[in-house]
Chains A and B, each alone.
Chain A
Amino acid sequence: MSAVPASPPAPALPPLRLAIIGSVDDGKSTLLGRLLADCGLVPEDQWQALLAECRRRGLPEGEIEYAWLNDGLEAEREQGITIDVAWRYFRTARRVFIVADCPGHEQYTRNMASGLSRAELAVLLIDASRGVTRQTLRHLRIAALFGVPGVLLAVNKMDRVGFSRERFEELVAPLAALARELRIPRLEAIPIAAREGENLLRPSARLPWHGGPSLLAFLESYRVPPPAREAARLAVSLVLRAEPEFRGYAGTLAGGGIALGDEVVVLPSGQRSRVAEIRRGFAAVPRAGAGDAVVLRLADERDVGRGDVIAAARAPLAVADQFAAQLLWLDEEPLLPGRRYWLRLATLEVGAQVTEIRHRIEIESGQRLAARRLEAGEIAHLHLAADRPIPFAPFAEERPFGAFLLVDRERGATVAAGAIEYALRRATNVHWQPVALGAEARARIKGQRPRCLWFTGLPAAGKSTVADLLEQRLHALGYHTMLLDGDNLRHGLNRDLGFTPEDRVENIRRVAEVARLMCEAGLIVLVSLVSPYRADRAMARSLFRAGEFVEVFVDVPPEVAAARDPKGLYAKARAGLIPNFTGVNAPYEPPEAPEIRLPAAEEPPERLAERVLAYLLEGSPR
């Protein structure tokens, strides 16, 4: 690097990833803007544009709204708030900084958390005059959940409290105690007045009692605690094939270095091999370190795919399918136990569900509260079950294998970010008891193909009537059947469940599991259940083999169903006597691609039953 002129020798620390967090109006964007301006890091044209904007918007002469340097969206400048994270990159004489300027509104917690997740230091702002708010506590808790290794409390607007040392200490003490309780490894505090530029670059004469460094001096000298070194792991992103016969596993090394000849184990399969080749970029290299993007070739033919982990054999990752975890819920739709999501961990994606919410954490008090659902911005401890065993590590030990997302299966949206705490039990100990006879054998002796006919539709659409007629027809033809009627099951198996969204999910899960067992027994199962949510029907479908699940949409316009109303339920619901009644005050999501759609307003039930029968007999063994 000698070619660059004027580079004085300096103790060069690695770049620092910062997130500026805290409640709205505590001065996050102002702090960053002022810091950049005072360091002479605002380009001239951007500075002129800012001055012009301040004039245009009628600020008094000489006053500058530093926050506008960062609030990059029109809506943000109009409303004077930060909606999404602004990423800023700057270098001072001593260090390079990557800064996430995070929004403070509760409504934008998901964006704030996005900015925070990769931070090596969180700068948590507090307005000295207003004190600690709910958002201050929320942000501190999220920083702890995401494993941010250090927090700097920047007590801002000290000018408004007369630069009082007592006020500063009164604010810091309880937060320091909470940080210890949350096991945040390091917490420091600095008093500042961002808009006035006090104690940003240089120690402030108005804070003589503060013996510590200025904010910038602290940031420039902050040493990030190194991550615990484990053994090498490579989450396979992609299998690369090239001529002649090259087959390599591409991914980013985590945890430690790897060298040619090292013994490795492929997870979750457990196959062993040795490292035969390491490539980094265009070159073959004898070894590579943590953080390197590499391609590995193994000495033996092994079945390795995307999502698998190649780990040092001396210290492999554990494998499990059920976990205790902590997460931050992000989505406007609530989290419901039993609903199916995609779980993303390292490079793998697997179906999963929350089996139980142990408790949610009340933001202010930290109290553990019972919860049956989670709303956006809530933090909870819960149990997760993946569809198959996956390699993982506790988040606190190895973040790359303990951090996960939950993804909505229809919208693709990221609905939660979380941290695995520990495995509930090792999947290697939970075997499926092998049985000699399979579903096919049981069905063969009955001379039929097992099916689950899932009748969905509005209340009073005619589901049970059609299912009942169809079962009679099938029985007459000599088929072995079983009818599971939603209403009837609520008298027994599901009598402990109500009609809230949570209970509906559990209701459907139980019915689907029973139907699956009956299919295993070789039966043709008819399920008649309103099952209003697409996601829940998708969950039911996922339990069955391909072609076994037949979604039958009994389609009537809502007004027809309401007019029929044989049990008088619509009338009661409209009178407000039944909460959560589908079609009146709870939604029904019609299937997008059902196997069969029955036009139940136009045809009599006998004809509809014939339609389903025709579908079944087509390609049937008899």
Chain B
Amino acid sequence: MSAGDARREPGTATIPAAMKADDAHLDRLEAEAIHVFREAAAQFRQPVLLYSIGKDSSVLLHLARKAFHPARIPFPLLHIDTGWKFREMYAFRDRVARELGLRLIVHVNEEGRARGINPLDHGAALHTEVMKTEALRQALALHGFDAAIGGARRDEERSRAKERVFSVRHAGQRWDPRRQRPEFWELLNGRLGPGETMRVFPLSDWTELDVWLYVRREGIEVVPLYFAKERPVVEHQGALIVLDDPRFADRFGPVRLERVRFRSLGCWPLSGAIRSDADTLDALIAEQFASRHSERQGRLIDHDEAASMERKKREGYF
């Protein structure tokens, strides 16, 4: 029997019949994430929340507020800014920080900026290495953060599927996937050896669908780029790129208007949009159930080479 034949058509088995259980499941995921936040706040000297403006960050921030309410979130937010985010993302970030009265640190790798590193001339790999991974290492060292709380989920990508909730980084923020600290039950060990720091992932057990169901249930605001709208797009390296600012406009082919949205947001030249009519949360969730593609398929940075996420993570990526 050929293996391919045995596969059921996507969509036939994935219709959300288990919906009744979903609300209870979201309650459990929420409580577990709050536990992780509180343990991080209690165990680390100087934690920081990595805020990247996307849907996962919005959920992360909402959970952090719940975890410490009525007290304030006891750590600052850190945004690693590559200079290539969508304008809507910057506007959203600044408004959220202002409205919630949060301490937001924005860090740019100035040395990279001075060298003019950008995703179009230098490619996704180098741009990401310099403006994200290197920038994150700089920022953590500069402020002396001993723990960085991030919104990574295990269902995003297969090397992330291997992450612990409290994930030790060795000297230089390096991840050694062959020597991970074991983790048991809900007991989170935040002790650090010399030179070590911690990455903390409260959303480890959340799926993309859980995130959207939770966004809907809690009425969490997300960047409008997740919803379908007519946007100026170009075909670029097999992806649909939404032109967000005039930089390098001459590099791209003809621009046309299409109804698109994003499943995952990053730097605009590296984020592939999908054609979609889903302009409400309900429509988006319905589309999600029927999807045949993974969430990060639009991310150009993941496809540079086989196992590229793992390599980036070992270097200290988010």
Contacts and interface: CB of A to CB of B under 8 A. Distances in A.
Interface in B47-81: 65-72
A43 interface: yes
Contacts of B9: 40
A84 B161 CA distance: 10
Contacts, number: 258
B184 A417 contact: yes
Given A70-B161, A344-B189, A403-B187, A10 B17 contact: yes
Contacts of B204: 87
A175 interface: no
A84 B180 contact: yes
Interface stretch (B38-46, B102-110, B115-123, B251-259): B38-46
Given A40-B9, A293-B67, A412-B192, A86 B161 contact: yes
Given A84-B180, A94-B18, A404-B187, A238 B66 contact: no
Given A72-B158, A404-B187, A414-B189, A240 B71 contact: yes
Nearest to A53: B306
B193 to A, nearest CB: 4
B282 A330 contact: no
Interface in A183-230: 196-197
B144 interface: no
A91 B18 contact: yes
Interface string B132-157: 00000000000000000000001101
B286 interface: yes
Contacts of B189: 344, 405, 407, 412, 414
Interface in A353-388: none
Nearest to B28: A291
Contact of B70 (A12, A196, A246, A411): A246
A146 B187 CA distance: 13
Contacts of A96: 18, 21-22, 25
A251 interface: yes
Interface in A78-121: 83-89, 91-96, 98, 110-111, 113-114, 117-118
B242 to A, nearest CB: 20
Contact of A5 (B34, B65, B286): B286
Contact of B7 (A5, A40, A114, A246): A40
B42 A72 contact: no
Contacts of B14: 39-41, 91-93
Nearest to A47: B7
Interface string B1-26: 11110111111111111111111110
Contact of B282 (A3, A37, A146, A252): A3
Interface in A32-85: 34, 37-47, 53, 62-64, 66, 69-75, 77, 83-85
Contact of B182 (A5, A246, A281, A417): A417
A293 B69 CA distance: 11
Contacts of A91: 14, 16, 18, 209
Contact of B6 (A75, A84, A197, A407): A197
Interface residues of A, number: 97
A6 interface: yes
Contact of B38 (A40, A238, A241, A403): A238
A282 B66 contact: yes
A43 B289 CA distance: 12
A42 B31 CA distance: 29
Interface string B196-208: 1000000011010
A64 B4 contact: yes
B2 A62 contact: yes
B159 interface: yes
B162 A413 contact: no
**How extensive is the interface on chain B, given as a class?**
35 or more
A181 interface: no
A279 interface: yes
B247 interface: no
Contacts of B181: 413-414
A265 B30 CA distance: 27
A399 B38 CA distance: 20
B155 A89 contact: yes
B291 A43 contact: yes
B3 A63 contact: yes
B205 A405 contact: no
A407 to B, nearest CB: 6
Interface in B270-294: 282, 285-286, 289, 291-294
A91 B13 CA distance: 8
Interface string A387-423: 0000000000001100111010011111001000000
Given A15-B21, A39-B13, A92-B13, A250 B184 contact: no
A85 B204 CA distance: 13
Nearest to B164: A114
Contacts of A299: none
Contacts of A237: 35, 38-39, 42
B255 to A, nearest CB: 26
Contacts of A85: 162
Given A64-B4, A72-B159, A237-B38, A412 B187 contact: no
Interface string A553-570: 000000000000000000
A292 interface: yes
A455 to B, nearest CB: 26
Given A111-B180, A330-B182, A344-B189, A72 B161 contact: yes
A113 B182 contact: yes
A412 B19 contact: no
Contact of A93 (B17, B25, B292): B17
A13 B48 CA distance: 37
Contacts of A40: 7-14
B13 A279 contact: no
A400 B17 contact: no
Given A73-B159, A83-B178, A45 B72 contact: no
B177 interface: yes
B186 interface: yes
Interface in A226-271: 237-238, 240-242, 246, 248, 250-252
A445 interface: no
A8 interface: yes
B294 A84 contact: no
A74 B15 CA distance: 33
A411 B20 contact: no
A438 interface: no
Contact of B191 (A77, A342, A346): A342
Interface in B289-316: 289, 291-294, 297, 306-307, 310-311
Interface of A: 1, 3-10, 12-15, 34, 37-47, 53, 62-64, 66, 69-75, 77, 83-89, 91-96, 98, 110-111, 113-114, 117-118, 146, 196-197, 237-238, 240-242, 246, 248, 250-252, 279, 281-282, 291-293, 295, 306, 330, 342, 344-347, 399-400, 403-405, 407, 410-414, 417
List the 7 closest pairs (A to B, CB-CB), nearest first.
Answer: A412-B191, A72-B158, A12-B20, A10-B17, A43-B294, A40-B8, A293-B34
28 contacts: A1-B22, A4-B282, A12-B20, A39-B13, A44-B293, A72-B162, A72-B310, A74-B311, A84-B178, A86-B162, A87-B154, A87-B162, A91-B14, A93-B14, A95-B18, A96-B21, A118-B186, A197-B1, A238-B42, A242-B70, A246-B71, A293-B30, A306-B42, A405-B189, A412-B193, A413-B181, A414-B182, A417-B185
Given A74-B311, A342-B191, A412-B189, 20 more contacts: A4-B286, A15-B18, A38-B8, A41-B14, A43-B10, A84-B178, A84-B180, A89-B154, A96-B21, A96-B25, A111-B180, A118-B186, A240-B70, A242-B72, A251-B38, A405-B187, A407-B189, A414-B183, A414-B184, A414-B189
